[in-house]
């Protein structure tokens, strides 16, 4: 213990302890204050350890494959649509951009069309559709595309689309940049209800209730054929003509001139779905009915009429299943029954994947 200052043994003198002594003066805290401090500590710990909800995924995600996809050396893009949203695949750059899109309030037919800087999603039903600009989150469609009953078809030039108003039987050529209507066409009353889709040449393929097929473009609406159209493309249409004996043949039609050429061999009956013709006019990919709700693809040479079955099973759906040609006619892109993208080499008929992870898709479109 320390020495007392001021002498020893003096009664009544205060204790003074030298610096460093082990005998400080003790104090007692009130009980309520101790409880308050403990309660505050418990609350702080609970807040710090509370399970936080996971962060929402980004609206736009970009991944790099580090190499060209399918060996493509030109700048065309492949777009896909599925429940996860829109996928833009820049094959030359090996770049995949995924853009989330709100869930569509419809399971019916829809239009999926790409423009020079955007993709459009327009369900046929009276529910919202969306516009996905490149690299930007999805947003609502412009007013002219916001109402139901519309079928959207690629137009004759970049930035132009056809709007088929199924309720009014009217077709309008619409400019995406300005929102202006360039051409307006009225369909003859009494021939509907109409079915409409792309004609492969920047116009609209129309079918009336009687099974006649028309081509609509800036020059008006023209009756082309009463044969069943099974594939369309920039060089012409492929139809199936069946005689009174029940024997059917493929016929190649040039809608611009009206010329017709019958292919050698026998054609099966039409499936009701419209396929696509390669940009160079060499082959057509057509649908054939399979077991149950499934269908299969056939590749038909438009020179010899030779037919090749492709090893891909397609999922049945409303409207034509996803199908598109690369601009150089090398690859046929489609979606198999499991929702996975498949690329078919037109020279060999072999199918392969792109080598990158993609969500399940239901629609495809090409931007050249």
**Predicted local confidence at residue 314, as pLDDT:** 82
pTM of the model: 0.83
Domain spanning 227-368, CATH architecture: 7 Propeller (2.130)
Same fold flag, 101-226 and 227-368: yes
- What pLDDT score does 119 carry? 98
pLDDT tens for each residue of the chain, 368 residues long: 444 444 444 444 444 333 344 444 555 666 666 566 667 766 765 655 665 666 667 899 999 999 999 999 999 999 999 999 999 999 999 999 999 999 999 888 999 999 999 999 999 999 999 999 999 999 999 999 998 999 999 999 999 999 999 888 899 999 999 999 999 999 988 777 889 999 999 999 999 988 999 999 999 999 999 999 999 999 999 999 998 888 999 999 999 899 999 999 999 877 778 999 999 999 999 988 766 666 789 999 999 999 999 988 886 544 456 899 999 999 999 999 889 999 999 999 999 999 999 999 999 999 99
Q: Output the pLDDT for position 271.
A: 74
- What are the extents of the domains in the chain? 101-226, 227-368
SS3 string of 19-72?
CCCCCCCCCCCCHHHHHHHHHHHHHHHHHHCCCCCCCCCCCEEEEECCCCCCCC
Domain 101-226 belongs to what topology? Methylamine Dehydrogenase; Chain H (2.130.10)
């Amino acid at each position: 213990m320390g020495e007392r200052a001021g002498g020893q043994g003096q009664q009544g003198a205060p204790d003074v302890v030298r610096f460093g002594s082990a005998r400080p003066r003790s104090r007692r805290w009130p009980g309520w204050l101790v409880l308050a401090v403990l309660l505050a500590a418990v609350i702080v710990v609970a807040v710090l350890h509370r399970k936080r909800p996971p962060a929402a995924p980004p609206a736009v995600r970009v991944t790099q494959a580090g190499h060209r996809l399918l060996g493509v050396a030109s700048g065309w893009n492949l777009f896909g649509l599925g429940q996860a949203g829109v996928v833009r695949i820049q094959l030359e750059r090996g770049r995949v951009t995924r853009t989330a899109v709100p869930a569509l309030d419809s399971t019916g037919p829809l239009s999926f069309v790409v423009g020079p800087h955007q993709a459009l999603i327009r369900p046929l039903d009276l529910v919202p559709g969306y516009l996905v600009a490149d690299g930007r989150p999805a947003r609502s469609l412009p007013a002219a595309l916001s109402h139901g009953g519309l079928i959207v078809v690629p137009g004759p030039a970049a930035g132009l689309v056809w709007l088929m108003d199924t309720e009014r039987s009217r077709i309008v050529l619409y400019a995406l940049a300005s929102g202006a209507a360039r051409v307006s066409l009225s369909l003859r009353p009494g021939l509907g209800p109409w079915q409409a889709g792309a004609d492969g040449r920047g116009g609209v393929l129309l079918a009336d209730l009687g099974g006649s097929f028309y081509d609509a473009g800036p020059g008006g609406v023209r009756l082309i054929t009463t044969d069943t159209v099974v594939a369309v493309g920039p060089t012409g249409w492929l139809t199936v003509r069946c005689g009174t004996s029940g024997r059917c043949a493929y016929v190649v039609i040039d809608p611009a001139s009206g010329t017709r050429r019958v292919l050698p061999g026998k054609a099966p009956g039409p499936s009701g779905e419209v396929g696509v013709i390669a940009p160079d006019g060499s082959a057509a990919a057509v649908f054939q009915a399979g077991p149950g709700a499934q269908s299969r693809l056939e590749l038909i040479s438009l020179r010899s009429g030779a037919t090749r079955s492709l090893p891909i099973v397609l999922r049945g759906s409303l409207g034509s299943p996803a199908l598109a040609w690369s601009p150089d006619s090398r690859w046929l892109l489609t979606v198999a029954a499991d929702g996975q993208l498949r690329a078919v080499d037109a020279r060999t008929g072999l199918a392969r994947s792109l080598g990158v992870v993609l969500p399940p898709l239901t629609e495809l479109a090409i931007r050249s």
